[in-house]
Amino acid sequence: MSRIKYSTIARVRFTSLFLLFAYIVSSCAGCSSPLESESLKMTGTYFDTVVQVEAWGADREILDRCEELCAYYENLLSPSIEESEIYKINQSHGLPVSVSDETAGLLRLGIHYGELSGGKFDITIASASELWDFTGNSSGTVPDPSALEEAVSHIDYRCIKIEGNTVTLTDPEAKIDLGGIAKGYIADQLKEYLTSAGVRHALINLGGNVLTLGGRYDGSDFRIGIQKPFSEDGTILGTVSVSDSSVVSSGDYERYFKKDGAIYHHILDPDTGYPVQNDLDQVTIISDRSVDGDALSTACYVLGLEDGMELVRSMEGIEAVFVTKDGELHTSSSRIDLAL
């Protein structure tokens, strides 16, 4: 009799333990980390450009946070959002404006690249750029020459004075536009966040500003294509293999309109306010930080092949591919291996 009771109790205990084990396994399955061979993607539109983040081994919460960061930086740095710090500086008419550490730091970096390029990269280009419309809805109108001449008189990055977190424009009519550097900065912030979240492999793309976190999950490099300028079918001139690096391209084919047989594109010469006219169609910069690649791709395009190449070769850890209007590719060193 006692043996029967013991057997019944044992079966009850075994059943309870089995159900508990099944519950634990089920719970762990619901909260397990994603496989590193699987990726999730996030797509959104910020700074008038399509932002895409693909991360391997990440969960949806991490990708949602990436989107939140994009929205945060757009609201902080956009010259057209009234609550942004850049908008407030532009509307201050020379009065001091208190800004965040992030905005102050990015402005200092913009000034640095203004000095490095001899003023060919200038974040006070807004007085001229706001006179142009290179969106898809553009009517192809060229600004009045006298209006551009007036705008150019207010382009000078040296009028930006920063003391701690206080920014003052010594020219009350000057205006800041971080379009030539902000996307690279945001890409770097996204990479920093993904790294802190434990992600080891990711591909960040902000409208052609590409930044990789590590390589691919299988150990190979990412292959980033260099687009043929004005190609309607997405023809690739070549690819560069990178890991944990940034690849940023700037050129006259990205945003433009045609008027009376001439092409007017969005990269403006700070000296004239008109689109740059030189021997280049495109500049691609390969660097560790995307913010550097962003600023340098614009600066080198404005400088032209000879001066742009000289600048790149003077900098450590920076490589470049220049595409001239005759379709020729010029690389800054033999270390760049272009493949199709």
CATH of the domain at 117: 1.10.3980.10
Q: Give the mean model confidence (pLDDT) for residues 2-17.
A: 39
Residue 177 lies in a domain: no
* pLDDT tens digits along 116-158: 999 999 999 999 999 999 886 667 889 999 999 999 999 999 9
Residue 194 lies in a domain: no
* pLDDT tens digits along 208-259: 899 999 999 999 999 999 999 998 878 999 999 999 999 999 999 888 998 8
C-alpha R_g of the chain: 26
Q: What are phi and psi of 83, to 5 degrees?
A: -90, -5
Do 323 and 230 belong together in one domain?
A: yes
Structure tokens given for 275: 């689109």
Residue 32 per-residue DSSP state: P
Distances (CA, A) of 241 to 226, 294, 340: 11, 19, 11
Task: Read off the pLDDT band of 338 (50, 70, 90).
Answer: confident
Residue 67 lies in a domain: no
Instruction: Determine which helix (DSSP H) or strand (DSSP E) holds 106, and give its type and residue range.
Output: helix 101-116
CA distance 53 to 166: 33
Residue 213 lies in a domain: no
Residue 159 has pLDDT above 80, yes or no: yes
Residue 323 lies in a domain: yes
CA distance 338 to 340: 7
**pLDDT reported for residue 34:** 63
Residues written for the chain: 340
**pLDDT reported for residue 16:** 44
What's 325's domain CATH number? 3.10.520.10
Rounded to two decimals, the pTM is 0.88
Do 155 and 228 belong together in one domain?
A: no
Name all contacts of 302-306 with Cβ < 8 Å and 24+ positions apart. Answer: 302/117, 302/120, 302/121, 302/267, 302/269, 302/270, 302/276, 302/278, 303/117, 303/120, 304/278, 304/279, 304/280, 305/278, 305/279, 305/280, 305/330
Q: Give 37 or 278, the one with higher predicted confidence.
A: 278
- The number of folded domains in the chain is 3
**In 10 A of CB 65, how many CB atoms?**
16
**pLDDT reported for residue 336:** 84
Q: Partners of 264 in the beta sheet?
A: 257
**pLDDT reported for residue 26:** 40
Do 234 and 322 belong together in one domain?
A: yes
Residue 102 lies in a domain: yes
**pLDDT reported for residue 234:** 80
Residue 28 has pLDDT above 50, yes or no: no
Residue 56 lies in a domain: no
Residue 193 lies in a domain: no
Domain of 21?
A: 1-32
**pLDDT reported for residue 193:** 98
**pLDDT reported for residue 13:** 43
Q: Give the mean model confidence (pLDDT) for residues 270-282.
A: 96
